[in-house]
Amino acid sequence: MSADIEENVLELQGVVMTFGGLMVLNNLNFKVRRGTIKAIIGPNGAGKTTLFNVITGSFSPTEGTVMFKGRPIQDLKAHKIAYQGISRTFQTVELFGNMTVLENVMLGCHTRVRTSFMASGLVLPQSRRKEKRIRESALKILKFIGLADKFKDSADSLPLGEQKLLEIGRALASEPELICLDEPAAGLNETETHLASSLIKAINAKGTTVLLVEHDMKVVMNISDEILVLNYGQKIAEGPPEDVRNNPGVIDAYLGGVA
């Protein structure tokens, strides 16, 4: 059992999600091995984003369990799940547009320091030290994602490609064990896509497990260790890229036109 926990950082068992009678996720079971990159693909409306929202606590599943490091998290609220070590990005960029690039990443560090209202108001030395520490680590992350020279700009003013990178940076700032990326390459041009792919690989190389939803098959086939294919909220295939690529069911349901 304990070996299994070590092996699988995330495990979904019988997850069902319904919205007013509509079943969006249907009895979903899968595991994500520690240190790997797993991609979730599937046609539009397959339930990919809903799956992300269930894992990261935006919704509680109607049925089933979500185990993170061997502990059930399906009933925890989103901010509690962030403290457990799961971080995410959003399909439609959800940056804090009214804040600077640096502040966005500093907010990502929220789980790493205790923020007390009284301590902030009284500017206790400890809270000043904490601010300094997270400022430094946020700058480090900006360097890692290549936005260090833009730290002062407002997040709103960045082009989409950089906004996507910044969102990944913000998610990294909490030093998560699992990072969930919702379409990191959507809307990016070829150069930017390439940049995003290598960034994801670099994140993974540092030991962070990556779960991503992506439509760009080149990205998916290139970087993922394993692929999970969803259709109508059900798993129709799972395995390494080459297996999935040749799976007749998948070709039928999804890749038909592409491959």
Partner 1 sequence: MLRIAKLPIAVFALFIIIFPWIAHQIPTIEHYPDIMVFAGIYCLITIGLSLLMGYAGQISLGQAAFFGIGAYISGILTANYGMNAWACMVIGMAVAAAVAALVGTPSLKLKGHYLAMATLAFGIIIFIIFNEEIEWTGGPDGMSGIPGLSLLGFEFDSVESYYYLVWGFVLVAFIFTVNVIQSGTGRALRAIHASEPAASAMGVDVSKFKIIIFVYSAVLGSLAGSLYAHYLNFINPSTFDLFFSIKLLIMIALGGMHNIWGAIIGACLITFLSYEWLHYFEEFEVIVYGAILLFVTVLLPDGLAGVPGIVKGWFRR
With respect to partner 1, which residue has the nearer C-beta, 128 or 218? Answer: 128
Min separation Cβ 234 and partner 1, Å: 26
Residue whose token pair is 């599943």: 61
Restricted to residues 126-145, the positions that interact with partner 1 (CB under 8 A) are: 127, 130-131, 134
Task: Confirm if 155 and 107 have CB atoms less than 8 A apart.
Answer: no
Under the binding rule (CB under 8 A), the answer on residue 121 touching partner 1 is: yes
Among 164, 170, 235, 245, binds partner 1 (CB under 8 A): 170
With respect to partner 1, which residue has the nearer C-beta, 97 or 240? Answer: 97
With respect to partner 1, which residue has the nearer C-beta, 22 or 118? Answer: 118
Under the binding rule (CB under 8 A), the answer on residue 235 touching partner 1 is: no
With respect to partner 1, which residue has the nearer C-beta, 58 or 222? Answer: 58
DSSP letters, the chain, are: -HHHHHHEEEEEEEEEEEETTEEEEEEEEEEEETT-EEEEE-STTSSHHHHHHHHTTSS--SEEEEEETTEE-TTS-HHHHHHHTEEE--SS----TTSBHHHHHHHHGGGGS---HHHHHHT-HHHHHHHHHHHHHHHHHHHHHT-GGGTTSBGGGS-HHHHHHHHHHHHHTT--SEEEEESTTTT--HHHHHHHHHHHHHHHHTT-EEEEE-S-HHHHHHH-SEEEEEETTEEEEEE-HHHHHH-HHHIIIIITTT-
Min separation Cβ 134 and partner 1, Å: 8
Restricted to residues 20-59, the positions that interact with partner 1 (CB under 8 A) are: 56-58
- Window 63-102: contact mask with partner 1 (x via CB under 8 A): --------------xxx--xx---xx-x---xxxxxxx-x
Under the binding rule (CB under 8 A), the answer on residue 174 touching partner 1 is: yes
Among 44, 117, 125, 257, binds partner 1 (CB under 8 A): 117
Q: List contacts with partner 1 (CB under 8 A).
A: 56-58, 77-79, 82-83, 87-88, 90, 94-100, 102-103, 106-108, 110-111, 113, 115-117, 119-123, 127, 130-131, 134, 170-171, 173-174
